[in-house]
Homo-oligomer: A and B are copies of this chain.
Amino acid sequence: MTPKNHPRYESLLLREKIKDAYKEGYLSDSGMIAHGRGETFDYLLGEKTTESSRIAIDVSVAKLLLAENPVISINGNTTALVIDEIIQLAKLIPAKIEINLFYRNEKRIDTIENILNKKGYDNVLGTNKDELLYIKDIKNPRATASKNGIYSSDLILIPLEDGDRTEILVDSGKEVIAIDLNPLSRTSKKANITIVDNIIRVIPLMIEITKKFRSYNKEKLKDIIKDFSNKDNLKESLKCIDLNRI
């Protein structure tokens, strides 16, 4: 459908994946609007991995390799765009995968679970069969988490998460790595590490770096983390939005 010479070809291909996911019933209408918001930030950032994103990715991988019980949170958008890569990354770290939807409903959860199962990944958490608890006893649908997953994890990777949820996770004492194209969002500001970049570039790069870092000892991994300031890194990301370049 989309001609290869269209100035926005790559971006239009992603848009098709998002629309397909909506038609398949596992991505919400809000997920489509959210994709549009992300598109604009990606466009303003030059649709490439910046130096500050690269630094945040290195720190994130080191953190994931050092964590006791790391969990990767997925939603409709993540599933639509990078599910194969998420599975690969989860196996390499190793980390658990938990479905975590802002608009949770049984059908959507089942559809995502089936997608993972068909890809040979059977241990996904946060399904309809899974035991869900409220984080810090906050009786809010934004605060549910799988008992053996996010609820008991020390580090969570949240690609494309909303601000309320991120706040609950961070305030409950968990470490949070966010992937968010908006360097100004509540999620970006609240997370311990924020990768300001597009998940379609980030997850493949995390896989590559995990392959390199997993032979490092703990001291070396801690060394990679030690000087990182999320606040400073966000400022650097913000500087990459160059309106006069476009």
Contact = CB atoms under 8 A, between A and B. Distances in A.
A189 to B, nearest CB: 10
Interface residues of A, number: 26
A171 interface: no
Nearest to A238: B243
A102 interface: no
Provide the main secondary structure of the chain A interface. helix
A54 interface: no
A241 interface: yes
A41 B39 contact: no
Contact of A33 (B7, B35, B246): B35
A19 interface: yes
Interface string A37-71: 11111000000000000000000000000000000
A34 B39 CA distance: 9
A18 B33 contact: yes
Interface centre among A33, A40, A186 (most CB of B within 10 A): A33
24 contacts: A7-B186, A15-B33, A18-B33, A19-B29, A29-B32, A32-B32, A32-B36, A33-B33, A33-B35, A33-B36, A33-B39, A36-B37, A36-B38, A36-B39, A36-B40, A37-B37, A39-B40, A40-B40, A40-B41, A184-B243, A184-B246, A238-B243, A238-B244, A241-B243
Given A19-B30, A37-B40, A238-B244, 9 more contacts: A7-B186, A19-B29, A32-B32, A36-B38, A36-B39, A37-B39, A39-B40, A40-B40, A241-B243
